[in-house]
Every structure is written in structure tokens, then in C-alpha cells.
Amino acid sequence: MVVGELTEEVDVVIIGGGPGGYVAAIRAAQLGRQVTLIDKAEVGGVCLNRGCIPSKALISAADRYEAAHESLFPGISTTASLDFSEVQKWKQSVVDKMTGGVKTLLKGNKVTVISGEAFFVKPDEIRVMTEVEGHNYHFEDCIIATGSRPIELKSIPNSDRVLSSTEALSLSEVPKSLIVIGGGYIGIELGQTYAKLGTKVTIVEGTSSILPTFEAQLSRLVLRNLKKYNVDIFTDALAQSVKETKDDVTLTFTVRGEEKTVTADYVLVTVGRRPNTDELGLETIGIQMAEKGLIAVDAQCKTNLDHIYAIGDIVPGPALAHKASYEGKVAAEVIAGQHSIVDYRCVPAVVFSDPEIAVVGLTEEEAKQAYKEVVIGRFPYAANGRATALNADAGYVKLMADKESGLLVGAQVIGHEASNLIAELGLAIEMSATLEDIALTIHAHPTLGEMVMEASEVALGLPIHVLVK
Amino acid sequence: VAHDVLATPGVRKFAREQHVDISQIHGTGAHGKVTKEDVATFVQGGDHVVV
């Protein structure tokens, strides 16, 4: 730093403009603080620019193409053509619209947005490097929301043919073949999308099943669907190395000791994400870390320095956009003097696979550990009129409740629109609702939502539309 | 989760704003659910726990 350089005084500094950071900025501004938001790239963060939104846009396009190309509907025949560069243009317009919206919201809330890379030089001062210069800011409170980035494999570094999710979302043409290393939700979503667009996809997963963080029962329907698209799946498989040529890339991997090779246009590495906490100068100011590069925080998202908060993918908990946004509001409210804390019973998690998977609360196993007796209600899509009329009757709704009190403690939905159906179940858990509360709520007919009511009745032993064995 | 206090998110927030530890409150709702009234009664009782 140049001696005598000016340091600007600011009130609240937020580092990172993702779903945690920009929400925190807006809430802090709503509550009367003067907010400066710093982001090294563009507001909206990973979610809007390189994650949730572009991936869902491509998934929609792939679904439309599939439906148009290969009619899955009795009595309807179609032919379709695909112009992927137009799809990419449209996807980018979706991203631009959403980030433009965030910019408007920040401006409307009088948040100052600075483009640059920030790091701490003192516990109450950051230096922001823009492309041309550096500038220091002395702040009252700070919220760190720097997010995460894809993990790169040491033995298989990124290249023109070895991609992270970011590049895989922006391919200019549909690859003829693609190898996906890592069968988690990102790998499955992208792998399935390209499979629908006509790519020959191979999935290489290290554990014994795809979507390893979900129960086997849930991944089974997705697995069946992937096979329909001729996706090759290797589990218990360890990626070893790649060999690139001008035109393709060959992956060598081992499956229980046996060596195999697959050649494809591209390899996509989706083995996880790491927190962006390594280039912030956190050690210079003595921020206490938790495990794996995550920042230790209390229930108010406060670090060990009481004017510095951390939220989102850089703190423990599920790395989900909605969890980051929730924490952003908590941190902003705390710095505005409110008594907010992280106080949720559950966070829903959704996989936009085909069929969709959505879970909230405890799994069956967790519920059985937590409660003396657990009652389960499972209702199949095939017994629901709306699902059948949609020609989408694969899947089920499964509820877990404490038998003694009837309290709903967990729910899982797999099937069409599972991502939307899970909202009611999350609310039910937060409201401490019982199976009876849900069963006595009139659900519109014919809708997929009725399955939630019916699954409750199954758990209570009195279902109308399925026979109790 | 198993032994968490039964209360809706709004009631939990109300308790926080009143500076009371909701786990100290006897709930009078179904299955011992703590209601907003329970929180208010507890606060009026004076012996509240500061969070």
C-alpha cells in the first residue's frame, strides 16, 4: 500500500454478490444501513451466472426438445430440430434478465456496487483491487459471502476438453459424447440434460451409487431414466488420468481394481465445490476457521470478530442458494440491531433430474433414530388423477412422522414437479404440523398436491385412493 | 430436531424479539405447541430468561 493513500469510510461492506450477498445487501439497506457491495465479477454470483439459473434453462430446453423430438405422448407424433447456439443465446438472455433484475434491486435500495477483488488488510479495513487500481475501505460491519468454486482434480486438471460445470453450461454445440466424473446432483443434472440433447454420456462415480447423498430408493427412478437415454454408469469407479488429443479426450479409471478407458469429446468434472476463503487475507486478521476451509460462525452468522459475519457456501451447512439467502437476511438483521438467529427446522434440497427429487427434513433412517416409533405414508403418482392425465405417473410422495404425536418430521418427493410439491411439506415441518393437519386441509382436485394429503392419510391408515394391505 | 420446541417460525421470532428462550415456555397448543399467547403470558410473568 502506498503511504498516505486515502482510505474511504464506509458503513457495511458485503464481499460477494451471490444469493447470500445481494440479499444481505438489500435487507441491510432496507433496515437503514449504508451498504457497499463488492463483487469481482458480476452480481448474482454463481447461482445466477454459472449455476442454478443457466442450468435450469438448459434443462428446460432439453425437456422441450425431448418432448418435441421423440413424442412421449400417445397419439402425438412430432419431428424437431435443434439449434443449440439459439438455445445458448436464449439461456444467456435468461441470465441477463435475472442479473439485470438484481442490479435494479440493488440500485433501488441505494446499494453501492463496486467491481473488484477484496481482501482484508486490517480487521476493519479491506483493499479492493479493480482492473486498474487498488483502493482501501474502512468499514463498520462486514459480511463475507464469497461462495464456492468447482473442485479441480489434481490428476485431471481443467483444459479445453476437461471442463467444470461453468464451461459445460456454455458449450457452443452439443457434444457427441461426454464423460461426467462425479454423479452428484450437478453431474446428474448436466449429464441427463446433454443425454436428452443427443450426447452419448458416461457417468463415473466414486461411491456405490449415483446421487450418493440421497437414499437409494430415490435415485432408482433417475437411474432407470438415465438408462433409457443409453447413459453408461460406472459406480465404485476412480478416475485416474486423461489423455487429450486434438479431437477428443480419453479417461482412464478403475472399477474395483479393474482398469477401463472411455473416449469422448469432453470430460466434465463435478466432484464437489470448495469454499472461496483462501485469498481473502482471513489469516491476517485472525478469523477462526471450521473444518475444510469453512469459516466458523455462531447462530447469528457472526465470526470470532464481532463485526465480521460470514454466510453461504463458506460456512458449514448445505451449499444451497436458499440457505445462503436465509443467512444473508439473518446477518443483515443482526448488524441492523435485530435479534435474528439462524432458526430453521429444515432446508429443502432439490435435484432437477428427470424425474425430479425433492427432500426436506429427516430421512427415514434419521427419523427412526430420532423417534421411538416412526410412521410412514407413501403415495404413488400412479394413483393420482392429475399425474396420470399428465402422462407423468412415475414417482411417489413419502412422509415420515413421529407416531406418538403425528408430527411430520421429514418428506421426500420423486416425480414430476417434485421441486414445487416440496414447499408445502417444508412449511408443514416449520409449522409443527401433524399428519392430521395435512390430511384435514382440503387440497384442490385434480392436482399433484393431493398426493401430499393422501400420503398423510396413508400414514394415518385411512387412505381413500389406495388400498391398505 | 427431535426435542426442538414446537412453535411456528413467527412465534419463534416473536419470542426472540421478547428476549425469551422459547424452550423455557410451557406450550398450551396441540402436542405442547408454544403459541404467541404463551410467549406473551411468559413475558408478563416477569421471570423471563434473557437470550
Which residue do the cell numbers 441491510 mark? A28
According to the model, what pLDDT value does residue B30 have? 83
Chain B residues whose C-beta sits inside 8 Å of any chain A C-beta:
1-2, 4, 6-9, 12-13, 16-17, 19, 30-31, 33, 51
Taking 70 as the threshold, does the pLDDT of residue A119 lie above it? yes
Query: A180 forms bridges with which residues in the sheet?
Result: A203, A268
| ipTM for the whole complex | 0.82
> Nearest residue of B to residue A402 by CA position?
B2
Average pLDDT over residues A352-360: 97
Cβ distance B16 to A431 less than 8 Å, yes or no, reads no
Residue A67 has what pLDDT? 87
Hey, what's the cell of A49? 451466472
* Superfamily (CATH) of domain A7-150+274-344: FAD/NAD(P)-binding domain (3.50.50.60)
pLDDT of residue A2: 53
The minimum CA-CA distance between B47 and chain A, rounded to whole Å, is 19
Q: Which of A370, A406, A434 sits opposite B1 (nearest CB)?
A: A370
pLDDT at A287 over 50: yes
- CA A428 to CA A454: how far, in whole Å? 15
Q: Which of B1, B2, B16 sits opposite A339 (nearest CB)?
A: B16
**pLDDT at position A196 over 60:** yes
Return the pLDDT at B1.
40
The reply to whether A7-150+274-344 and A162-271 are identical in fold is yes
pLDDT tens digits for range A178-193? 999 999 999 999 999 9
- Assign A74 a pLDDT band (cuts: 50, 70, 90): confident
Residue A407: closest CA among chain B residues belongs to which residue?
B31
Query: Interior CA angle at A51 toward A183 and A312, to 5°?
Result: 95
Domain boundaries, chain A: 7-150+274-344, 162-271, 355-460
CA distance A97 to chain B (A): 33
Predicted pLDDT of residue B47? 53
Interface test with A, best of B4, B6, B17 (most A CBs within 10 A): B6
pLDDT higher than threshold 70 for residue A4: no
Number of H helices and E strands in chain B, helices first, is 2, 0
Task: List the catalytic residues of A.
Answer: 445
The mean predicted confidence, pLDDT, of chain A is: 96
Confidence of residue B5 (pLDDT cuts 50, 70, 90): confident
Q: Residues of B with CB below 8 A from A338's CB? A: 17
User: Given this model, what pLDDT does residue A352 score?
Assistant: 98
Helices (H), A336-417: 364-370, 385-389
The answer to whether A335 is a known ligand-binding residue is: no
- Mean pLDDT score, A115-125: 96
What is the structure's pLDDT at B45?
83
CATH class of A162-271: alpha beta
Higher pLDDT, A78 or A96: A96
Q: Is pLDDT of A322 > 80?
A: yes
* Interface contact flag, B2 A430, Cβ < 8 Å: no
Residue type, A298: D
Q: What are the chain B neighbours of A371 within 8 Å (beta carbons)?
A: 2
Q: How far, in Å, are A275, A328, A333, A347 from residue A342 at the CA level?
A: 20, 10, 11, 12
Q: What is the mean pLDDT of residues A9-14?
A: 98
Summarised one tens digit per residue, pLDDT across range A220-243 is: 999 999 999 999 999 999 999 999
Per-residue pLDDT at B49 exceeds 90: no
Q: Is the pLDDT of residue A324 over 50?
A: yes
Mean pLDDT value across residues A157-171: 97
Q: Which of A6-10, B23-27, B31-35, B45-49 has the lowest mean pLDDT?
A: B45-49
Q: How far apart are CA A314 and CA A311, in angstroms?
A: 6
Is the distance from CB of A54 to CB of A99 less than 8 angstroms? no
Q: Do A431 and B1 touch (CB under 8 A)?
A: no
The mean pLDDT value for A90-116 works out to 97
Q: Average pLDDT in the A360-384 region?
A: 97
Q: Does the distance separating the beta carbons of A361 and B1 come in below 8 Å?
A: yes
Taking each helix axis from N to C end, the angle separating A52-69 and A84-108, rounded to the nearest 10 degrees, works out to 150
Nearest residue in B to A428, CA atom: B8
Task: Look at residue B2 and tell me whether its pLDDT is greater than 50.
Answer: no
Whether A205 has a binding-site annotation, put simply, is: yes
Flag whether pLDDT at A468 surpasses 90: no
Q: What is the mean pLDDT of residues A443-465?
A: 96
Of B6, B7, B17, the CB nearest to A339: B17
Distance CA A343, CA B5 (A): 11
DSSP alpha helices (H): ranges in A251-375? 282-285, 321-335, 364-370
From chain A, which residues contact B within 8 Å (Cβ)?
Answer: 338-341, 343-345, 361-362, 370-371, 405-407, 409, 430-432, 434
Q: Do B16 and A340 touch (CB under 8 A)?
A: yes
d(CA A300, CA A330): 7
Classify domain A355-460 at the CATH superfamily level.
FAD/NAD-linked reductase, C-terminal dimerisation domain (3.30.390.30)
Mean pLDDT of A115-144: 95
